[in-house]
Amino acid sequence: MKEKVALLSIVCLFAQFFLVLIASAENAQPLMLAKQYHENIDVKKYWVSEKLDGIRARWDGHKLVSKNGHPISVPTWFTHNFPDRVMEGELWLGRNQYEETSSITSKKIADQRWSKIKLMLFDMPEAKGTFSERLLVMRRIIKSIDSPYISVIPQFRVNSHNELMSRLQSVVNLGGEGLMLHHEASNYKHGRSEYLLKLKKFDDAEATVIGYKPGKGQFENMLGSIKVRNDQGKEFYIGSGFNKRQRQHPPALLSRVTYQYQGFTNNGLPRFPVFLRIRDAE
């Protein structure tokens, strides 16, 4: 009897998980997504910006929504004077503050902590023209309004791959995550695009939590590592990157996590995987 109850609970858990996936897919925004940077491009034709470690969001001209299309609870004073144009950006608190940003933006009832956040714009999804033209429009719009809570991510140019890598190292030294490259002549197109590239010191990916391994020694009675399955079907453990609170309250089964790694083993497993964060719940 107990085995039947346990099996039924597992079935229900999986059913709830897939219902959440279906609902998210139905509400998801049509986004332009980045591919990995590669050297055989002309970097002079790209605008470069820091890759902010925030929460991706879209201002639809009236309200703020997540990348999955769900409304984000936000104080009215935060969006006061926001333009009536569709704009996309990152809700950002600062470098290495993703968890705090996620905590603030995920609340059903917005609180005063929103005063520490900015919507850092990087594109206008419904605007016509090249990225250079859209960037110019964004800058003009933001300059014309009076709001301390919305800004355009600084964009700059580089003349060579070596200069780009030097800029990357400078950002990383300051605690940043990496760089983004927008092709100057690109239109906003849904899906992954060669005209939008990301450059980081380490690769990262996402996986689903499917189990746990208890900790030992200093981590006794806490999490030792999580067992995950990545999108290629490979199963492996991630045991580093967790703080004490995360070891006491590990990511839930079937939740999605982001991890960092350095290439692959001969068996196709991520080498030196390190936990970064739990993916947005939505």
DSSP states of the chain: -HHHHHHHHHHHHHHHHHHHHHHHHHH----EEEEEP-SSS-GGGEEEEE---SEEEEE-SS-EEETTS-B----HHHHTT--SS-EEEEEE--TT-HHHHHHHHT-SS--GGGGG-EEEEEE-TT--S-HHHHHHHHHHHHHHS--TTEEEPP-B--SSHHHHHHHHHHHHHTT--EEEEEETT----SEEEEEEEEEESSEEEEEEEEEEEE--GGGTTSEEEEEEEETTS-EEEE-SS--HHHHHSPPPTT-EEEEEE-SB-TTSPBSS-EEEEEPP--
Residue 121 and residue 85 share a domain: yes
Domain stop point among 148, 174, 200: 200
Q: For the segment 250-278, what is each residue's pLDDT rounded down to a tens digit?
A: 999 999 999 988 778 888 899 889 999 99
- pLDDT-based confidence at 280, cuts 50/70/90? low
CA–CA separation, 153 vs 171, rounded Å? 14
Place of tokens 């900790």: 215
Range scoring the smallest mean pLDDT among 18-27, 62-71, 112-121: 18-27
CA–CA separation, 164 vs 126, rounded Å? 29
Residue 124 and residue 70 share a domain: yes
Adjacency order of strands within the sheet including 274-278: 235-238, 223-230, 203-214, 256-261, 274-278
The pairing of beta strand 178-183 with beta strand 150-152:
unpaired
Residue 45 and residue 25 share a domain: no
Q: For the segment 191-248, what is each residue's pLDDT rounded down to a tens digit?
A: 989 999 999 888 889 999 999 999 998 899 999 999 999 999 999 999 999 999 999 9
Q: What is the CATH number of the domain that holds 211?
A: 2.40.50.140
Residue 189 and residue 217 share a domain: no
Residue 108 and residue 220 share a domain: no
Domain span including residue 247: 203-278
Q: For the segment 41-83, what is each residue's pLDDT rounded down to a tens digit?
A: 999 999 999 999 899 999 999 999 998 889 999 999 999 999 9
Query: How many structural domains comprise the chain?
Result: 3
Residue 188 and residue 254 share a domain: no
Tell me whether residue 213 is one of the annotated catalytic residues.
no
* Contact (Cβ atoms closer than 8 angstroms) between residue 49 and residue 156: yes
Percentage of the chain surpassing pLDDT 70?
Answer: 89
Q: Which of 51, 128, 198, 234 is catalytic?
A: 51
CA–CA separation, 16 vs 30, rounded Å? 24
Residue 249 and residue 190 share a domain: no
* Contact (Cβ atoms closer than 8 angstroms) between residue 125 and residue 134: no
Q: Phi, psi at residue 172, to the nearest 5°?
A: -65, -40
